[in-house]
Amino acid sequence: MALSENGHIAETEGKKMHHEEGIVIVGGGFGGLCFAAALHKVGLKAVVLEQSNKLRSEGTAIALQSNGMRVLQLFDLANQFRNIYFNIPGIEYLNQYGRRLTIMDPSHCEGGPHEMRCMERKVLLEAIAGQVPQGTIRLNSRVTNIKKSETSPNVTNLELEDGSTYSAKVVVGFDGVNSIIGSWLGLEKPKSIGQVEVRGMAEFHNGYNFPKLLRLFLSRTIRVAIFPMTTTKVYWFVVWRDSSEGWKNLTPEEIKQEVLQITKDFRVPDFTLCINNTSLECFTKNTLRHRINIKPTWETQVVGNVTVCGDASHPSTPFIGQGGAMALEDAIILARKLHQALKSKESQISKVQESEQIHKALLDFHRERHGRTYALTHKAYMVGVSTIADTAIKCFMRDWFFIPRAGRIGNFMEHTLFDVGKLPIDEPESHN
């Protein structure tokens, strides 16, 4: 095993090794790492199998709102991020010529104060990874197959690309939109909504003069956003309609040229500045996909002691910036459920009883989460489709009626009020 600089990441060098573990998490993104950190906090050991050779920070930046910040607070990380990244005081909607349609001021929304900060994915991932013990994160560990053990019904076996194998009492797939665990559970593949997004982070070493607002510029079918992160870093993205998947072979330079071409009718000089101050390796393009889980997830997403969470469970479009936060919330709530199932009765129950407790905990988790993740996935999609206005009349209605009214809705930030609650940290026993 080789340890990285921070000592928390082990690269598997031994080929064809067999590992026996209690809890195995497939995927070391936000959700998987936060789940491992939460389990560690409640005294449960887990390993994280991550296919990449480093923590994946593709997409450069991510916005977290109050609900996501509350999760970071549980690990005493929130203030570290508050000290680096701006809290955005408003969302301004404009047309492609820069005319303001409305401005949403979160301080006028119920339940505040609200937070909305855009942070670097890499910094966030590393901070969460710093919360888990050495050797928890196994890089270069791509899971290629999953099987129920033929000899022990309570055990699940995982096969990795390098030939090594794991057997586990619990397998949780935090493995993203193309989840292999989700496929094994028989989940429908997430569907494209016929839109793509290109995003990146511009760096202005001598600062910039943009307003400290999230600005969204809308044409009929294209959305451009500028989201200041720090005094020198600005996140931006462009969304447009495109159902083809042919872009996957484009080079970063071609993607950059495509963005400039798509936005040529926008009179937004700040955006052009952002594009020109973004290094090529920061350009990321995605087809936007989601799955609205109409069927209850406790019926479809738990088989024995295997389940999925985060994007693997409820892949969502990014229009309300909640995908990452939902994965973080899942991590805390599932850790709490497993703590209840495993920790308190650890020494007193048989393997079969323990397995039943775990199964029940996974079902309870999905019962608790389904309503919220269904609602947010649906809301994100509705926000996404309602800002596309492909005819002149729809565009007129959007710009003069819907968006100005949306700016006055008092519960616009309602979904960010969710409080994930605390982790049960065991108190030392008192000896009277």
In the complex, which residues of this chain contact ligand FAD (CB under 6 A)? 26-32, 49-52, 56, 59, 62-63, 141-143, 174-176, 180, 197, 199, 286, 310-312, 318, 321-325, 327
Spatial neighbors of 394 by CB under 8 A, at least 6 apart, are none
Nearer to ligand FAD, 33 or 338 (CB): 33
State in angstroms the smallest separation of the CB of 137 from ligand FAD.
Answer: 10
Task: Tell me which DSSP letter residue 319 carries.
Answer: G
Angle between helices 30-41 and 323-338 (to 10 degrees): 30
- 8 vs 354, which CB is nearer to ligand FAD? 8
Look-up of token digits 């497939």: 26
Q: Which helix (H) or strand (E) holds 330?
A: helix 323-338
For residues 31 and 106, which CB has a smaller minimum distance to ligand FAD in the complex? 31
Closer residue to ligand FAD in complex, CB, 32/407: 32
Q: Which is nearer to ligand FAD, 314 or 359 (CB)?
A: 314
Distance of alpha carbon 422 from alpha carbon 14, whole angstroms: 38
Cβ nearer to ligand FAD, comparing 153 with 194: 194
Minimal distance in Å, beta carbon 254 to ligand FAD?
A: 18
CB of 274 to ligand FAD, least distance (A): 16
Output the smallest distance, CB 397 to ligand FAD, in A. Answer: 27
Nearer to ligand FAD, 176 or 407 (CB): 176
CA 235-382-105 angle, to 5 degrees, is 55
Residues contacting 366, CB < 8 A, separation 6+ = 296, 297, 298, 301, 302, 307, 313
Closest to ligand FAD by CB, 315 vs 407, is: 315
Residue 1: count of CB within 10 angstroms of its CB: 11
Tokens of 242: 């495109």
Min. distance of Cβ 45 from ligand FAD in angstroms? Answer: 19
Contact 339, 364 (CB under 8 A): no
Say how far apart CA 317 and CA 270 lie, in whole Å. Answer: 25
With tokens 């409640």, the residue in question is 42
Q: How far is the CB of 87 from ligand FAD (least distance, A)?
A: 15
What is d(CA 92, CA 34) in angstroms, rounded to the nearest whole number? 32
CB of 51 to ligand FAD, least distance (A): 4
Q: How far is the CB of 401 from ligand FAD (least distance, A)?
A: 27
| Helix segments in 27-120, DSSP class H | 30-41, 66-74, 78-84
Counting DSSP H helices and E strands in the chain, the numbers are 12, 19
Pick from 252, 249, 258: nearest CA to 279: 252
User: Within 10 A of 212 (CB to CB), how many other CB atoms are there?
Assistant: 11
Q: How far apart are CA 32 and CA 174, in angstroms?
A: 5
| Residue 205 CB, nearest approach to ligand FAD (Å) | 24
Q: What is the number of other CB atoms lying within 10 angstroms of the CB of residue 147?
A: 13
- Whichever of 263 and 357 has its CB closer to ligand FAD, that residue is 263
